[in-house]
Amino acid sequence: MFCFFFLPLGFSLAASLRGIADAPSGTYKGDKTISGVKFKVEMKFSANENAPRTGTLDIEIKNPFDVECKTEPYTLDSDDHIQLDDYDDDDDCVYGGLNAVGAELDYIKYDDDDDKVTIKVKDGPIYLKVDLDHDDDDYQHDIIPGASLDARQA
């Protein structure tokens, strides 16, 4: 009887942790140089506590684009593509910023195995793909309210 009580709790907890672990969290940064121009991209994800595959993200795409958008709502679909929920709206920040320079978002994808995000933008006939790595400086866990463990501390 003792095992039957804790077994379902263990499975439920494991499933919950997997659901949280397979979504982007924190800040991801990357850059790519093409023909002497350095493209820089940064995304910061804030997951919805009640639905970890949804949330908001802050995104910056620099050179030659100047896109800086805060709290863009997103959904991580079953293929790990990050869908910007409002991207099809004319007044969406990412859509407007890219459209202003004749570019468009092709996709954003999350790789759970490597904890990376890839963004691909189409600028005329050229596709720009940038891989973003998780920013370890941003990776902290709250252990006790008001306290944190930083992996850089000895």
Give the pLDDT confidence of 74-110 residue by residue, as tens digits. Answer: 999 999 999 999 999 989 999 999 999 999 999 999 9
Amino acid letter, 83 = Q
CB proximity list for 25: less than 8 A, separation 6 or greater: 45, 47
Amino acid letter, 16 = S
Instruction: Pick the closest to residue 27 from 116, 120, 97 (CA basis).
Output: 116
What pLDDT band is residue 142 in, cutting at 50, 70 and 90? very low
Show the domains of the chain with their CATH numbers.
24-138 (2.40.128)
pLDDT at 97: 94
- Which DSSP helix (H) or strand (E) runs through 97? helix 93-99
The C-alpha atoms of residue 137 and residue 114 are separated, in whole angstroms, by: 17
For 42-64, the pLDDT digits (tens) are 999 999 989 989 999 999 999 87
Res 127 pLDDT > 70: yes
Average pLDDT over residues 128-140: 82
Q: Quick one: DSSP state of residue 98?
A: H
pLDDT at 110: 97
Alpha carbon of 72 to those of 40, 84, 144, 145: distances in Å?
Answer: 18, 7, 30, 28
Q: Decide if 74 contacts 68 (C-beta within 8 A).
A: no
pTM reported for the whole predicted model: 0.75
For 4-46, the pLDDT digits (tens) are 444 444 433 443 444 444 789 999 999 999 888 899 999 999 9
Q: Decide if 67 contacts 50 (C-beta within 8 A).
A: no
Q: What are the φ/ψ torsions at residue 5 (nearest 5 degrees)?
A: -70, -40
pLDDT at 109: 98
